Amino acid sequence: MESKQKVIPELEEEKWLSDLAFMRYVTEHLNALNVKFQGPEMRDSVKEFQMKLCLWEGQRHQGNLSHFPTCPSVSDTVTIPFPTKLYADKLNTLKAGFSRRFSNFESQKSNLNLFANPFAIDVGTAPVHLQLDLIELQCNGALKTQ
């Protein structure tokens, strides 16, 4: 931008650069999650992302930036302390939002598992109206091999 004589005051602001370095990776992971949502395993993708958020939050509290590779280089170039606690709090807020929005996934876990892998379900715990059909399905050798 300097070579084009474009003045971008944010590029001189150390806090903004730190935020940009951090948010680059959060956005990258959210975009990857969005792509996974278009596949059949949405519940697994949500759980995976929530586990990543827990990991990153704990690492932020320890000052560990290993999963956010640009952050250490930005941290080395700025004179202000890298706001790891603030970013841990942001990850916690994101984690709480995911938990709230996808809370029904956990309550529907057994129903979702029934359709994800009907051969691994205990027929006795399945909804009564599906039990006989589930027995027929589980005993169908041709379906099992597929």
Are the C-beta atoms of residues 98 and 50 closer than 8 Å to each other? yes
pLDDT digits (tens, 9 = 90+) for 27-82: 999 999 998 888 767 778 888 899 999 999 888 888 888 888 888 888 888 888 88
Predicted TM-score (pTM) of this structure: 0.66
Q: Backbone dihedral region of 106: left (phi > 0), alpha (psi from -120 to 50 degrees) or beta?
A: alpha
pLDDT the model gives residue 27: 93
**Helix ranges, 38-102 (H):** 42-61, 70-77, 84-101
User: Which tokens hold the place of 121?
Assistant: 């379900």
Burial zone of 56 (CB within 10 Å; 0-12 exposed, 13-18 middle, 19+ buried): buried
